[in-house]
């Protein structure tokens, strides 16, 4: 059995999957925030419960926000203060007497989608998260690519390309990102960026949900706004897709619930790609909130041990 943990600042969710990648059991508890020992006990107790329930010694994978393992072997995860700065993978592998694998939550999202029954046919899958921020991951032949610092797939921190200014105007403002840089595409393509663009052009502060509701009502400004957003998304994706050339792009995050984005993107991409390039298949994520658990569990579907 494959055990997948989705660990965040408020909850630890565990999903148990069989060899056919089907969910057999799930549970969740609050994340201990003040004690590393309590955090370790929470995870090991859940593993023990799963082992007893399924009469086996299941594999353990964990998805967690941040950098799962720094150069000194410790976790960096600001939202999980009890474990941040600790050698989490080594400690859990020792306590559980098995190879525990960790990856960041965006990679687990991409891995979950790549192992979907329909998507498993594609060798190179790109996950794109359009949520509070912009992120994602890459999966090649069923294995997530992390990079040296676990930042492969941090698409949101690519800066606006010159074509964006041709589209939006050369006086288009460069916004300061939380990473410290100017002009990161996350500030324009995330859920909050989607709302900011509307306010920038129409001087009316609306939430993304309110804008989408207006779009469904046929509001002219909302339709103009969505067209502009899709044009900007296509411009920014053009550079990324030229580098990666994926077979499939799966869009997750809050904006993926707005079907017009996935449906309207493919037609805009050819003008931003090489003439010989093919537009990849573009789909909305299939597994929603379960993606973190699924992807973490499937860290063990490849034979390559974690570095």
Annotated binding site: 4-11, 133-140, 157, 177, 179, 184
Distance CA 106, CA 290 (A): 13
Distance CA 224, CA 215 (A): 9
Distance CA 238, CA 245 (A): 10
Note whether 282 and 249 are within 8 A (CB): yes
Distance CA 307, CA 255 (A): 34
Q: Which residues are annotated as a binding site for Zn(2+)?
A: 157, 177, 179, 184
Q: Which residues are annotated as a binding site for ATP?
A: 4-11, 133-140
Cβ atoms within 10 Å of 119's Cβ, excluding its own = 18
The number of residues making up the chain comes to: 307
Rounded to the nearest 5 percent, the helix, strand and coil shares of the chain are 45, 20, 35
HSE-CB for 36 with a 13 A CA cutoff: 13
């Amino acid at each position: 059995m494959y055990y997948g943990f989705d660990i965040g600042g408020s909850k630890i969710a565990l999903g148990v999957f069989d060899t056919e990648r089907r969910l057999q059991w799930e549970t969740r508890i609050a994340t201990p925030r003040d004690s590393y020992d309590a955090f370790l006990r929470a995870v090991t107790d859940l593993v023990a419960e799963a082992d007893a329930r399924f009469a086996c010694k299941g594999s353990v994978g964990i998805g967690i926000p941040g950098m799962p393992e720094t150069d000194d072997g410790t976790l960096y995860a600001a939202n999980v203060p009890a474990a941040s700065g600790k050698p989490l993978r080594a400690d859990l592998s020792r306590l559980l007497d098995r190879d525990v694998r960790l990856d960041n939550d965006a990679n687990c999202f991409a891995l979950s989608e790549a192992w979907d029954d329909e998507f498993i046919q594609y060798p190179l899958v790109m996950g794109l998260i359009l949520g509070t921020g912009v992120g994602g991951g890459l999966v090649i032949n069923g294995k997530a690519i992390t990079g040296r610092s676990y930042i492969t797939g941090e698409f949101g921190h690519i800066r606006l390309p010159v074509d964006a200014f041709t589209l939006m105007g050369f006086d288009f403002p460069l916004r300061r990102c939380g990473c410290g840089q100017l002009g990161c595409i996350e500030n324009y393509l995330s859920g909050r960026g989607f709302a900011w663009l509307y306010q920038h052009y129409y001087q009316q502060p609306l939430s993304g949900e309110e804008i989408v509701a207006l779009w469904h009502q046929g509001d002219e400004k909302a339709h103009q706004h969505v067209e502009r957003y899709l044009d900007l998304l296509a411009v920014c994706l053009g550079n990324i897709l030229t580098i990666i050339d994926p077979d499939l792009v799966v869009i997750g995050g809050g904006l993926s619930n707005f079907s017009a984005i996935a449906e309207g993107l493919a037609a805009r991409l050819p003008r931003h790609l090489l003439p010989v390039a093919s537009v990849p298949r573009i789909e909305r994520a299939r597994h929603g909130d379960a993606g973190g658990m699924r992807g973490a569990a499937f860290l063990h579907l490849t034979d390559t041990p974690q570095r």
